């Protein structure tokens, strides 16, 4: 271990997780080079429970190994683990085929517990809320609704069935499942009887969270079951993204590295007080050599040991550019198709030119950032429930949407991007995530209208992001108008608020099928997946329209698309818009309207020069 300021370090082993500190067996560690300490124990030590006892500044403290791969229940002590023995049957490094280009991906953000905690998940009770829920294939849920016929007065019973679990995600057509925190986190109480929490408060960075295991008291069970979950998703042609939180910890004072090397792991001000750019009580000093090494080592470990396909960095802007560059470099050695995205918000105690932020994205090749410009441009500020976006009636947000459609590339002087990507793949385009109101709840709060129109606006707003250049991102349940009852910060709310209600797949079948169609359209046509700024500038051109309409032409032929010319029209107005088509009179085929989307022709518009687009809808045509 690394403890450069320690005067003495001992390894302590324990008979059980509950053994008192006084009963530990101690082994003296020897000081090595560059602040390291070491000791060697002979024999097979798998299953050994251990901790370090570090003397520094005249004080002796007991700490868990910050590099621990396994732990006792609730993360109290480390456990030696034979990782090969945790591999499921037929464990393989084989992954679903993927180009490695961000623009070819489509992300689906999902909380492990949300996925299966509701009875409508069709998942067996023993696996609900657990990693093992992902191992259940071909799940569905059936229910009946009995009504009385208004004319005959007879009771009529109708039966419904919908796909659930992995079957539902696979049916949607996305390529990557992004899991909210799955490392060992502090919140949620006792792992054997946990309460709900998102988990953005790291405790042990390299240990899976125990509450998602069917047996949190078994240190290897959670490792095996997480690997089973990854393997199951891979078997269903879904790649897996891990949400990582290296910007802060649950409790700085209790964190293992702070106990081992006080004052090193976290940023402080001139008085020694912890900086708090994260709003979570502390911020990790990633710019320091051994902190940076810890972060890079941790990411490498998860990628290699769990065969993961990507990482989402929470509050990436807190971290330094060099560390993120090193993360990308090391992941490329493991698997260049691994995707890295992050929240590039500008915050924290580093000089601005060193922060891994949106404005520094040109320094972060192969890393994408969430695009809040298109998000807020479409639906309005996430910090003001009542504020409208362009899609819901605020024409002043039009420019933000236009910039986002290009993937925030350096498009032209007339398109103002708040931050500039090196290529469209660096822009994560979204209109809903786990944070803040769901899109359905945002529309409910900001638009005074009926349920039918709200559904139409939900499809409209989502289509803008999904058809834009870049990496499309969907929050689980967005495809069936997920609501959290207006809860804009459900990080510790109940399962009743957070769980996925799969019956809504039937209630909002029109919206679900619309999402499936948009995803299939992107997959089938490279014009929606341009990989370079040059391609976007050459092959995407905006048409002259009013402030309530955004229309653009995609030169499919220029990027190898079988559709020569594609026109996308978004009408945010309150009435039907007439849009002049490029190239004069021609016959166009419609593949997207307000209710349906996909690659199949919905209508043929013969010999037209203008097209009429209904209010609050998207239309996609091609010739």
**pLDDT tens digits, residue range 188-212?**
999 999 999 999 999 999 999 999 9
Question: How do residues 248-270 score in pLDDT, each as one tens digit?
Answer: 999 999 999 999 999 999 999 99
Strand boundaries in 418-530, DSSP class E: 427-429, 471-475
The answer to whether residue 67 is domain-embedded is: yes
- Helix and strand numbers (H, E) in the chain are 14, 27
User: Does residue 564 carry a pLDDT above 90?
Assistant: yes
User: Does residue 11 carry a pLDDT above 90?
Assistant: yes
The pLDDT of residue 358 is 99
Question: How do residues 386-399 score in pLDDT, each as one tens digit?
Answer: 999 999 999 999 99
Domain that holds residue 39: 8-86
The answer to whether residue 358 is domain-embedded is: no
The alpha carbon of residue 246 and the mean position of all alpha carbons in its chain are separated, in whole angstroms, by: 15
The answer to whether residue 221 is domain-embedded is: no
Question: How do residues 206-247 score in pLDDT, each as one tens digit?
Answer: 999 999 999 999 999 999 999 999 999 999 999 999 999 999
**DSSP state for residue 217 in the 8-state scheme:** T
- Contact at 8 Å (CB) between 266 and 335? no
Among the candidates 70, 86, 102, a domain finishes at 86
The answer to whether residue 202 is domain-embedded is: no
Split at pLDDT 50, 70, 90, the class of 150 is: confident
User: Does residue 374 carry a pLDDT above 90?
Assistant: yes
CATH of the domain at 48: 2.60.40.10
Which candidate, 609, 552, 617, places its Cα nearest to that of 580? 609
CATH of the domain at 588: 2.60.40.1180
Question: How do residues 573-595 score in pLDDT, each as one tens digit?
Answer: 999 999 999 999 999 999 999 99
- Contact at 8 Å (CB) between 461 and 424? no
The pLDDT of residue 326 is 99
Among the candidates 44, 69, 86, a domain finishes at 86
The answer to whether residue 287 is domain-embedded is: no
User: Does residue 93 carry a pLDDT above 90?
Assistant: no
Average pLDDT for residues 537-543, to the nearest whole number? 99
SS3 for 573-612, per residue? CCCCEEEECCCCCEEEEEEECCCCECCCCCEEEEEECEEE
The answer to whether residue 60 is domain-embedded is: yes
User: Does residue 23 carry a pLDDT above 90?
Assistant: yes
How much is the pTM? 0.97
Question: How do residues 280-322 score in pLDDT, each as one tens digit?
Answer: 999 999 999 999 999 999 999 999 999 999 999 999 999 999 9
Whole-angstrom distance, CA of residue 245 vs CA of residue 286:
12
If one counts the domains in the chain, the total is 2
Q: Which residues are catalytic?
A: 314, 343
Which candidate, 350, 368, 378, 585, places its Cα nearest to that of 462? 378
The answer to whether residue 410 is domain-embedded is: no
- Contact at 8 Å (CB) between 252 and 274? yes
Whole-angstrom distance, CA of residue 183 vs CA of residue 249:
12
The answer to whether residue 545 is domain-embedded is: yes
Among the candidates 86, 101, 126, a domain finishes at 86
């Amino acid at each position: 271990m690394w403890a450069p300021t320690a005067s003495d370090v001992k390894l302590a082993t324990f008979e059980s997780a509950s053994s008192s500190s006084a009963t530990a067996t101690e082994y003296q560690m020897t000081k090595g080079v560059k602040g390291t300490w070491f000791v060697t124990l002979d024999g097979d030590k798998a299953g050994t429970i251990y901790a370090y006892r570090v003397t520094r500044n005249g004080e002796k403290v007991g700490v868990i190994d910050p590099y621990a791969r396994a732990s006792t229940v609730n993360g109290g002590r480390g456990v030696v683990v034979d990782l090969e023995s945790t591999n499921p049957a037929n464990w393989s490094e084989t992954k679903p085929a993927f180009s490695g280009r961000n623009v070819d991906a489509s992300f689906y953000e999902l909380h492990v517990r949300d996925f299966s905690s509701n009875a409508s998940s069709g998942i067996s009770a023993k696996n609900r809320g657990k990693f093992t829920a992902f191992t259940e294939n071909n799940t569905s849920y059936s229910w009946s609704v009995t009504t009385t016929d208004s004319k005959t007065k007879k009771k009529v019973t109708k039966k419904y069935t919908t796909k659930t679990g992995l079957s539902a995600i696979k049916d949607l057509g996305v390529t990557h499942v992004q899991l909210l925190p799955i490392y060992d986190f502090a919140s949620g109480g006792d792992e054997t009887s946990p309460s709900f929490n998102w988990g953005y408060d790291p405790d042990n960075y390299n240990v899976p969270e125990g509450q998602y295991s069917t047996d949190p008291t078994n240190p290897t069970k959670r490792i095996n079951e997480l690997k089973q979950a990854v393997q199951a998703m891979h078997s269903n042609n879904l790649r897996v993204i891990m949400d990582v939180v290296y910007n802060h910890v649950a409790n700085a004072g209790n964190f293992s590295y702070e106990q081992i090397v006080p004052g090193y792991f976290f940023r402080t001000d001139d008085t020694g007080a912890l900086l708090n750019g994260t709003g979570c009580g502390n911020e990790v000093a990633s710019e320091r050599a051994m902190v940076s090494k810890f972060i890079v080592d941790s990411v490498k470990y998860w990628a290699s040991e769990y065969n993961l396909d990507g990482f989402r960095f929470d509050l990436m802007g807190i971290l330094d550019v060099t560390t993120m560059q090193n993360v990308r470099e090391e992941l490329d050695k493991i698997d260049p198709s691994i995707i890295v995205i992050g929240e590039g918000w500008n915050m924290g105690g580093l000089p601005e030119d060193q922060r891994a932020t949106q404005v520094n994205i040109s320094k972060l090749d192969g890393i994408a950032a969430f695009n809040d410009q298109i998000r807020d441009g479409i639906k309005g500020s996430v910090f003001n429930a009542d504020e409208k976006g362009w899609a819901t009636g605020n024409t002043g947000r039009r420019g933000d949407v236009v910039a986002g459609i290009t993937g925030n590339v350096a498009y032209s002087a007339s398109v103002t991007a708040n931050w500039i990507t090196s290529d469209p793949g660096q822009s994560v385009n979204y209109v809903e995530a786990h944070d803040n109101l769901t899109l359905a709840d945002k529309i409910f709060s900001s638009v005074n209208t009926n349920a039918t129109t709200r559904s139409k606006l939900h499809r409209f707003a989502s289509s803008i992001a999904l058809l834009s250049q870049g990496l499309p991102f969907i929050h689980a349940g967005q495809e069936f108008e997920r609501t959290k009852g207006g809860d804009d910060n459900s990080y510790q709310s109940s399962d009743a608020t957070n769980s996925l209600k799969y019956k809504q797949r039937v209630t909002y079948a029109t919206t679900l099928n619309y999402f499936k169609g948009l995803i299939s359209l992107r997959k089938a046509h490279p014009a929606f997946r341009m990989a370079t700024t040059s391609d976007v500038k050459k092959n995407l051109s905006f048409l002259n329209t009013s402030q309530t309409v955004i229309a653009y032409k995609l030169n499919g032929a220029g990027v190898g698309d079988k559709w020569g010319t594609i026109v996308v029209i978004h009408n945010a107005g309150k009435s039907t818009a007439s849009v002049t088509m490029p190239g004069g009179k021609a016959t166009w085929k419609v593949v997207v309207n307000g209710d349906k989307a996909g690659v199949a022709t919905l209508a043929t518009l013969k010999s037209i020069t203008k097209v009429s687009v209904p209010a609050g809808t998207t239309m996609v045509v091609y010739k």
